[in-house]
Amino acid sequence: MSILAANSQIQNIVDLRNITKTYVNGELKVPVLKGINAAVERGKFVGFIGTSGSGKSTLLNILGLLDNPTGGQYLLEGIPVESLSDYELAEIRNKKIGFIFQSFNLFPYLTVEQNIEVPMLYARVPRKIRQARALELAKRVKLGHRLGHKPTQLSGGECQRIAIARALSNNPAFILADEPTGNLDEKTSDEIMELFHELHRSGVTIVMVTHNPALAPHYDKIIRLRDGRIESVE
Amino acid sequence: MWSELIMMLPRDILTLAIHNLLMHKFRSFLTSLGVIFGVGSVIAMLAISEGAKRAALAQIEAMGIDKIIVFSQRPPLDGQSDGNSDASVIERYGITEVDVQHVMKMDNVDRITGLFNTRKKVLKGLSRTDIKLVGADRYFMEDTPCDIIDGRWFSPSDFKNKLNVCVIGTNVKRQLFKIGSQDVVGSNIRIEGDVYKIVGIMENSYGTQYPEIGTQSNMIVIPLATARAHYNDYAFFREGNTHKIIRVVYDMLIVKVVDLMHIDNTAKRISNFFEKAHGSTRDWGIVVPFELLKQREQTQNIFTIVMASIAGISLVVGGIGIMNIMLASVYERRKEIGTRRALGAQKSDIILQFLLETVFLTTCGGVMGILTGVGIAKIITMYSGMPTVYSVWSILASLIISCLVGIIFGTYPAYKAAQQNPIKVLRSE
């Protein structure tokens, strides 16, 4: 599929050009994003930091192709996504974006191995390859011995590691992490951030959205949001 | 695309379906009750009606579907017989020798077996029992569903020489002899001054009841020629304090036809003949087992339609219940749906997942319904003795129907699930 062909020539994995988002509620128009220009370069660890009400969640939804901007252009590895069909969007979410959620969003009734396999299932990866890849990823997040367990038998930190393994399963263009340490204690948070750094060192592009300014030192590039605009880029 | 999907997802989806089922065991059970009872009643009623049908068909077929039965019956008394004292002493009615000769000559009539009920009482010890002594033609054994289980049927010479021989029914043997008596065949019994030698024992294992005469198991049969020699066509009997003489030549005719296809016409012709010959006196009757069979089948069809409608209604109600619960489940699991969408599930993946879950639920309900139905039928058989018959067909049909209920009533919730906005999940706590 042409839209999915990785284009290594393009340096900007994410390229946001004057993105706006306005929610219409009857007569009332609420502008949430007021022209966002930002880029995530290949291999970078980029943090979007903003307080609640800064438009951070809306931006996250747009970055994750779960919501459409009202105006502007979003290029994902050079592909203008606003013209894509629902089917193609799902396919891009599946193969190019690795979602990580604050509350892990693992499926409690599936084993660790099955959880890691879910995105590959939707990508129609044959079973044997799926299983081999799940094992490899579980080892990568140092939980290779936990494949047969259920998420309820794991600690919060372990759950987030599994979620990270799941996000990596289809070799996405970038990881989109939404407040990944928000539900973890300080020590576990540090471990998870260390895991992100490891991934980053191995060449994975990471976009992290957070309210927590304390995480700022971790990022290559810090984009601060305030009131629907970019306040600063460091 | 879809076939690929079906090949790959089942483990995931089945795990999920089973998990959801077990997580809400009681709710799933309540949800499935409609389907359980729907399918259960289908299975039970089919089993019962099939059993009843087979029993009735066996009875009717046992009378012989290529036979027409004509019988004599006592005409209803009119007021006039009061004044005529003679008529109250001797009653003459029913099928005559002339009738038999006429019927014999009709097209499509193969042969006729005549029966004459002597209305004699058989003496056993001091008590008179209600055993019928019947004179029969030689084809009686062949043309009725009856088997000789011991001894033999009458030989041509028994008829020719008008010998005092008899064949007794199994119930008669039970009444007259002790259990385990060995030498019943060959022994003699006495019937109002006449001594008959028992040459055979017969049994009607179908329980066929003939009009006015009943079943062979309760009869003593003697050669018709012997009966004529002893009694001609006279039967003496007592009604209250008055003694009566009844003269009936033939109590019953078993008319065997050549071609079953034209049995209706033959029966009609016989009826017409009797109507003309006997005039207004309704001292005869006619039964066509083949007609009964057809009527029975028609009633059966009506019964089946009524049953199917009832089952259909309960399945629809059950299906609506399932749709309701699946809609609630979609709402509860918005987060799961959103996560799956974020991870790359297509809308069709979500539809398939919820549809398969519903089908799994209804099929489980169907299996439980089948077990319930079989159980109900078993209990009915146990307590009422009604036979029940399950067919592989009815069980298969129930499974397919419960599957279809899942598909029909699962489609809308599945569609609803696919329409959920995934944005809601990312920050929903």
Q: What is the ipTM of this complex?
A: 0.93
* % pLDDT > 70, chain A: 96
CB–CB of A57 and B335 under 8 A?
A: no
Looking at the domain assignment, is residue B290 inside a domain? no
CB–CB of A94 and B344 under 8 A?
A: yes
User: Taking CB atoms and an 8 Å cutoff, what residues of chain A touch B418?
Assistant: none
* B150 plus B250 within the same structural domain: yes
**Min Cα separation A5/chain B (Å):** 17
Domains, chain A, ordered by start: 44-67+90-233 (3.40.50.300)
Looking at the domain assignment, is residue B64 inside a domain? no
Domain span at residue B406?
Answer: 2-59+295-426
Looking at the domain assignment, is residue B288 inside a domain? no
CA distance linking residue B200 with residue B93, whole number of Å: 32
Closest in B11, B12, B343 to A94, CB measured:
B343
CB–CB of B342 and A93 under 8 A?
A: yes
- Which tokens in the block code for residue B196? 């008959």
* B95 plus B212 within the same structural domain: yes
- By C-alpha distance, the chain A residue nearest B333 is A107
- By C-alpha distance, the chain B residue nearest A61 is B423
CA distance linking residue A18 with residue A37, whole number of Å: 5
3-state SS assignment for residue B158: helix
Looking at the domain assignment, is residue B68 inside a domain? no
- By C-alpha distance, the chain A residue nearest B335 is A105
Looking at the domain assignment, is residue B336 inside a domain? yes
* B108 plus B177 within the same structural domain: yes
CB–CB of A93 and B344 under 8 A?
A: yes
Give the pLDDT confidence score for residue B212 in this predicted structure.
76
Residue ending a domain, choose from B282, B308, B337: B282
3-state SS assignment for residue B187: coil
The residue among B6, B14, B334, B343 with the most chain A CBs within 10 A of its CB, best to mutate, is B343
Give the pLDDT confidence score for residue B389 in this predicted structure.
83
- Which tokens in the block code for residue A28? 């009332």
* B270 plus B313 within the same structural domain: no
**How do residues A175-216 score in pLDDT, each as one tens digit?**
999 999 988 999 999 999 999 999 999 999 999 999 988 888
* B179 plus B222 within the same structural domain: yes
CA distance linking residue B417 with residue B413, whole number of Å: 6
CB–CB of A124 and B342 under 8 A?
A: no
CB pairs under 8 A between A and B: 80
**Min Cα separation B342/chain A (Å):** 6
Give the pLDDT confidence score for residue B357 in this predicted structure.
86
Which residue reads 């027409």 in tokens? Answer: B68
Looking at the domain assignment, is residue B39 inside a domain? yes
pTM over 0.95: no
Give the pLDDT confidence score for residue A162 in this predicted structure.
95
CA distance linking residue B31 with residue B319, whole number of Å: 9
**How do residues A136-166 score in pLDDT, each as one tens digit?**
999 999 999 989 999 999 999 999 999 999 9
Which alpha helices (DSSP H) does B161-288 contain, by range? 170-176, 224-231, 263-278
CB–CB of A66 and B426 under 8 A?
A: yes
* B315 plus B417 within the same structural domain: yes
Which residue reads 């047969």 in tokens? Answer: A148
Give the pLDDT confidence score for residue B77 in this predicted structure.
66
* B393 plus B341 within the same structural domain: yes
- By C-alpha distance, the chain B residue nearest A85 is B346
3-state SS assignment for residue B294: helix
Residue ending a domain, choose from B252, B282, B312: B282
* B130 plus B251 within the same structural domain: yes
CB–CB of B335 and A127 under 8 A?
A: no
Tell me phi and psi for residue B174, to 5 degrees. Answer: -60, -35
**Min Cα separation B26/chain A (Å):** 18
CB–CB of A90 and B345 under 8 A?
A: yes
Within B248-394, strands assigned E span 252-257, 284-287
Residue ending a domain, choose from B282, B305, B326: B282
**Min Cα separation B36/chain A (Å):** 26
* % pLDDT > 90, chain A: 65
CB–CB of B9 and A121 under 8 A?
A: yes
CB–CB of B341 and A66 under 8 A?
A: yes
Which residue reads 């004057």 in tokens? Answer: A18
* B347 plus B272 within the same structural domain: no
Could you report the average pLDDT of every consecutive run of 10 residues in chain B (429 residues)? 53 69 78 87 83 77 81 72 52 86 89 86 62 86 84 90 91 82 84 86 80 83 89 73 80 89 89 88 85 79 82 87 90 89 90 88 91 89 82 88 93 93 65
Tell me phi and psi for residue B112, to 5 degrees. Answer: -125, 130
Give the pLDDT confidence score for residue A52 in this predicted structure.
85
| CA-angle at B195, arms to B189 and B201, nearest 5° | 45
CB–CB of A121 and B341 under 8 A?
A: no
The residue among B16, B21, B423, B426 with the most chain A CBs within 10 A of its CB, best to mutate, is B426
> How many domains does chain B contain in total?
2
* B137 plus B278 within the same structural domain: yes
CB–CB of B346 and A87 under 8 A?
A: yes
- Which DSSP category does B155 fall into? P
CA distance linking residue B1 with residue A124, whole number of Å: 9
- CA B51 vs. chain centroid, Å, equals 6
Closest in A64, A103, A124 to B342, CB measured:
A64
Give the pLDDT confidence score for residue B127 in this predicted structure.
57
Give the pLDDT confidence score for residue B82 in this predicted structure.
45
Kind plus residue range of the DSSP H or E element containing B349: helix B347-384
The whole-chain average pLDDT of chain A stands at 90
- Which tokens in the block code for residue A145? 């011995």
Looking at the domain assignment, is residue B97 inside a domain? yes
Give the pLDDT confidence score for residue A6 in this predicted structure.
59
Looking at the domain assignment, is residue B277 inside a domain? yes
* B175 plus B81 within the same structural domain: yes
* B42 plus B116 within the same structural domain: no
